[in-house]
Amino acid sequence: MGHLLRLALWPTIAGILAGILILDRWILSDNTPEPAPPAVTSYARAVQSATPSVVNIYTRKVVPTRAAALLNDPFWRQFVPRNQPRQRVEQSLGSGVILSTEGHIVTNNHVIDGADAIQVLLSDGRNAAAQIIGTDPATDLALLQIDLPDLTPIEMGSSSDARVGDIVLAIGNPLGFGQSVTQGIISGLERYGLQTGLYESYIQTDAIIHQGNSGGALIDTSGRLLGINALIYTSDNQASSGRMGIGIGLAIPVDLARFVMADLIEYGQVIRGWLGVQVEPRLLRGGDAPDGQSLVVTGVAEGGPADKAGLRTGDVITHFNNEAVEDVRRTMYDIAMLRPGDRLQITAIRDGQTLDLRAVVGAQTQSPGPAPQ
């Protein structure tokens, strides 16, 4: 009986095995999707979006020659050939970014400083002479304007949204080759203390910047403007205006550029917050400030906001608006970004006592010295 049962089960088992084989070979294999090819990362759309807004800038400057200067002295004049040219023309190049359909273009101040003629070349081949609307040497920004129809302003991002590690693209006119794009990441934020007496809060990037990139766009992967390419900081600790392709790339954040450009358009100059105080950094041991950072007041402008608030020479400032002092230049930058009429809370120490003072910010319309004004 058991032998007959085994003989009856064998066809059933064989049928099951054949069904599994058919299912695996012809049915499951036909419906199994093939692995997707690896994704190809491209930033072509971002570049295509931003490129029409990035321009090449060419400048000419007439400068006296050394021989021409010697002609002012009768003694040296006799040794200078009569046909010696008394002037020569210097040419330079840079980049800029279109901000409005009215033709406003932001660039670096060092790109157009002292220029007698400025020519702007668009990505579509059109060109136009540019006039200077205003400059702000303290931030190395300048505003130009051209008169052409159908301009494409760049889409503005916000540098406050930028994060270390974000991918960025630098667009400009390196070495006069025409518009070029380099790629990198944001290596650091709020870099300052690199140049004396300037308002600084640079975006640091490893995107390659050459001479001619200055004033060009630093964009995100959606084509939005994050900063204005400005400098290369090289290994010899010298800030270079984009002359070399090595070192640390620095860009002026778009939030600061927007602040400066709005004032240049409306007032022709930048109106910054002014406190009317001179300070020096000091390491405060045993104080309330983190890491012992503080500012010692060395001078107070008579009748200025700090004077009216009750601040005195010798006071030690530890906080502004309840935020601890970190660095003289950082403090200068923060105060400058305030508007006249804004209220500022100052925490200071005088004769061992903590004071909470209230100041109404005034207006600073001139470039600052090395200390907060």
Region of poorest pLDDT, from 201-205, 222-226, 250-254, 368-372: 368-372
Choosing from 53, 95, 110, 210, which is the catalytic residue?
A: 110
Examine the pLDDT at 366 and tell me if it is beyond 70: no
pLDDT in tens, 48-66: 999 999 999 998 876 566 5
Cα dihedral sign, 270-275-281-283: negative
Q: What percent of the chain has pLDDT over 70?
A: 69
CB 234 within 8 A of CB 209: no
Query: Any idea of the CA torsion for 208, 246, 176, 218, to the nearest 10 degrees?
Result: 30
| CATH class assigned to 159-267 | mainly beta
CA atoms of 293 and 298, how far apart (whole Å): 16
Residue 2 is classified by DSSP as: H
Would you call 214 a catalytic residue per the annotation? yes
C-beta separation of 223 from 49 below 8 A: yes
Do 272-364 and 52-145 fall under one CATH topology? Answer: no
How many other C-beta atoms can be found within 10 angstroms of the C-beta atom of residue 55?
A: 30
Choosing from 53, 92, 104, 140, the catalytic residue is 140
Nearest to 169, CA basis, from 121, 242, 229, 107: 229
- Residue in 201, 214, 241, 294 annotated catalytic: 214
Distance from C-alpha of 151 to C-alpha of 104, rounded to nearest angstrom: 10
Question: Is 319 marked active-site?
Answer: no
In CATH, what is the architecture of 272-364? Roll (2.30)
What average pLDDT does this structure show over 97-121?
92
Q: Which CATH class is domain 52-145?
A: mainly beta
Q: Is the pLDDT of residue 122 over 70?
A: yes
- Taking 90 as the threshold, does the pLDDT of residue 142 lie above it? yes
pLDDT digits (tens, 9 = 90+) for 218-239: 999 999 999 999 877 665 555 5
Mean pLDDT of 249-253: 90
For residue 312, which phi and psi values (nearest 5 degrees)?
-130, 155
What pLDDT does residue 280 have?
81
pLDDT tier for residue 16 given thresholds of 50, 70 and 90? low
Q: Hey, where are the domains in the chain?
A: 52-145, 159-267, 272-364
- Give the confidence band of 368 by pLDDT, cuts at 50, 70, 90: very low
